[in-house]
Chains A and B, each alone.
Chain A
C-alpha cells in the first residue's frame, strides 16, 4: 500500500508496447487489404473505442466506487456534439432535409480551412468539445444525483441516460439534433486514409484511445487518484482523512463523463452515423460487462477485455449464427441468435465463478514485475505488497 511509485521499468515497457502496437496497426492496415479483412479492422476500431469508454467507466465504478449506469447517455451527448459540429456545410441541407436545413451554420473542419490540417484540427477540437459537453451535463446531473448511495445512484444515472435519449429524439429540437433520424456525412476514421497513400484509419483510432487512456492512467496514479481509491475503500474514513467527498466525487464523475463523451464521438466516427436509439441501456450494460470481464479496478484489464469482447461478439463467434452440416447431419441449435446466447452464458460464468475478471485489480506492468522479482529487494518493499 505504501509503495506509491511504480517501477519506472514497467511503465517504460508498457510505453514501448503501446508504440509498437500503433506501428503494428499501421503496418497491418497497409499490408493486408482492408476490403478483404473487414472484420479484423472493424474489431480493431470498435475495440479501441470500447476500450476508452470502458476505461472511463472503470475510473468511476472501479476506482471511485460510484456505481453509475449513465455511460450510454454521456456517449450519446459526445456523439451528437461531435457530429453536429463536423458535418460539412454542403452536406447539411441533405442530412437535415426533414427540417429544411440545420440551425448551425458552421463546420469545424471547414473553419480551420479544410484540407488535411483542417480535418485534424477540426476533428480534435470537436472531440474535445464532445467531452466538454458531456462533462458539463455530468456536472449538472451530479449536483442532485451524487448525494445518493450505491444502487440508488445506479438507477438515477440510468434514468438520466433515458431522459437524455428522449430529449434528443424530440421533434422540436429537430434543426439541431435531426430528431429521431440519423446524423451522417461527417468525417469518420476512414477520412484519415490518405488517398493513394498510407491507410491510417485504424491507427488514428488507436492513437486517440491511447492518449485518452494514458491521461486516465496518469490521473489514477496522481494524488486525485489516490483520493478516489480512498473514497472507494471507505467513505467515512476518507472524509476523516480530510478528503472533500463532494468535490472528489464530482471530479471523478465529470472526468469519467468527459472521456465517455470523447468515446461517444469516436463511436460516431466508427459507426458512420449517429442515431439516439443506438445509445440504450443495453449499451451501458455491454460496457459494464466489459469492465467486469477485464477486472473492476484495472485499466489494462478493461482494454484487453474490450478487444476480446468485440472480437467474440462481432467475429469469432459468428459461426454459431449459421447452420452447419457434418455430411448430411445438421448440427442442432445453430441458427440466428445462438451466438448471443452462448455469449451471455460465457458472461454469466465469468460473473459467477471468475469474479475478479482477467486482471483483477492489477495492471500489466504489475504482472511483469511479479514474474521477475528484483534480487535483494528491501524487506520493507516486500512487506508493503
Chain B
C-alpha cells in the first residue's frame, strides 16, 4: 500500500512537471507546426541559471530573475533561429531547432565544465513531509495543484483575452489571420514567452526532486514531454496536461518495476501506438490533407 502510494505520488508530480514542458511544445506546434527540439534545453538552461543565480543573489530575487531570463532566452531563440526561416520548408526550421539544441548543450557543457551542478535547496519546496507513511518532499504535493492553477490561468488567457484570440486565429490559419491585421510575429513571440515561462517553473519543480543537473538533463524530459503533447493531441492544452500525467504515471510505475531500463522505451512505444491508432491524439482536431 505504502509502495503504491509512493509510486502514485511520484507519478503525479512527474506528470505535472512534464505537463508544464509539454504545454510549451503544444503551443508552438499549434502555431508554427514546428517541433521545438530546443525546448528541453531551455528547460535545462533554466535549471542551470537557478544554480548560478542562487549562489550570487538571495532566493527571492534569484527566482523571478531566473524566470525573466528564461523567458528572454525563449524569445531570443525564436527571433534569432526561427524567424529568419519563416518562409523556408518545415524541415529547415526543424534542423535549425536541432542546431539550437546542440548549441545550448555545448554552451552549458562549456560553462559548467561538464560537471554536475547541485540544485539549490528551496525553502518549503525541498522540505520533507510524511503522507500516509510515505516520506516525500513538499514539491511532490505542490506540483499538481500549481500545474492545475497555471493551466487554468492559461486557458483563461487563451479563451478570454485579445492575445489569446489572436493565438487561436494564428493556429487556425496563418495567412488569413495575417490579412485580418494580426501581428503574427508578436503572437509567435508571445507563445514562446509563455512556453519558456512554464518551462522555467517546470525546471524549478523538476530539479528540486533531483540532486544535480548536467547539460544533457534537459534532452530526455523534453522528449518525454513532447510525447505527452502528441499523446494528448498536439495543439491542445488540456490534451498536453492529460497526456503528461499519463506519461508521468506510467514512467513512475515502470521505474518501480524490474523493467526500469525500459521506461523510455515504453514511453516511445506508447507514442508509436497512439500515432498509428489515432494520429491526432486524445483531444486533437481532425485535419484533412488538401492537395
Contacts and interface: CB of A to CB of B under 8 A. Distances in A.
A352 B33 CA distance: 18
B57 interface: no
Interface in B72-104: 81, 84-85, 88, 90-92, 94-96, 98-103
Interface string A252-294: 0000000000000000000000000000010001001100100
A34 interface: no
A352 B81 contact: yes
B230 interface: yes
Interface stretch (B42-50, B195-203, B266-274): B266-274
Nearest to A344: B103
Contacts of A13: none
A67 B93 CA distance: 13
Nearest to A338: B110
A171 B258 CA distance: 11
Contact of B106 (A144, A159, A236, A341): A341
Interface stretch (A146-154, A207-215, A222-230, A363-371): A146-154
Given A166-B261, A166-B262, A160 B99 contact: no
Contact of B275 (A152, A171, A336): A152
A17 B100 CA distance: 37
Interface in A327-355: 335-338, 340-341, 343-345, 347-348, 351-352, 355
A239 to B, nearest CB: 10
A26 B223 CA distance: 45
B272 A160 contact: yes
Interface in B251-291: 261-262, 264-265, 267-269, 271-272, 275-276, 279, 291
A110 B272 CA distance: 41
Interface residues of A, number: 43
Contacts of B95: 288-289, 292, 351
Contacts of B188: none
Nearest to A144: B276
A281 B226 CA distance: 15
B131 interface: no
A202 B110 CA distance: 33
Contacts of A343: 106
Contacts of B219: 281
Interface of B: 33-35, 81, 84-85, 88, 90-92, 94-96, 98-103, 106-107, 109-110, 113-114, 219, 223, 226-227, 230, 261-262, 264-265, 267-269, 271-272, 275-276, 279, 291
20 contacts: A150-B91, A156-B272, A156-B275, A159-B271, A159-B272, A160-B272, A166-B265, A167-B265, A170-B262, A288-B95, A289-B98, A296-B91, A337-B114, A338-B110, A344-B103, A347-B102, A347-B103, A351-B96, A351-B99, A355-B92
